[in-house]
Amino acid sequence: MAGTPSPMGFAKVHAAAEMSGLRIVMDESCTGIRYSRNNVPEDLETVDEMIRAIADRYFEIDCACFSPNTERFDNIREIVADYGVEGVLHLVLQYCHGFNVEAGKLSGVLTEMGIPSLKVVSDYSQEDMEQIRLRMEAFKGIVENTREATR
């Protein structure tokens, strides 16, 4: 799972994926691994060292609102390799335009790696839940076909 935040009340894409037989093995979204990666060292002694470490950590955040954002794609490549990712769901919450703008670049990076992806743009409502679930089922077939083709 990659993309925008998944705040409370916006778990429908995760639910649709699981109902369709997909398994989410890593969450690269704003509310995923981004928060626990590149932690600030706790053994620093001076206030200046601590402030510098905090500032450096914030410069390493690879949010779509930063440009250029090559670090995000490097991190996604690493996640795909480390976790054996076979397909990526790219979630775009309608108000988060940065991730929507980056969707094309992300798709290109994943295509180069031979990894299928599916962009899902949605909002907090439940009206499109069945449409999303149906798209997930089709995506599962694409992932399975890609897996078989690479064996």
Those residues with Cβ within 8 angstroms of residue 109's Cβ, 6 or more apart along the chain or in another chain:
73, 76, 77
What tens digit of pLDDT does each residue of 93-126 get?
Answer: 888 788 888 888 999 999 999 999 999 999 888 8
Peptide bond into 68 cis (omega under 30): yes
Q: For domain 2-149, which architecture applies? A: 3-Layer(aba) Sandwich (3.40)
Lowest pLDDT segment from 1-5, 21-25, 39-43, 121-125:
1-5
Question: Does pTM surpass 0.75?
Answer: yes
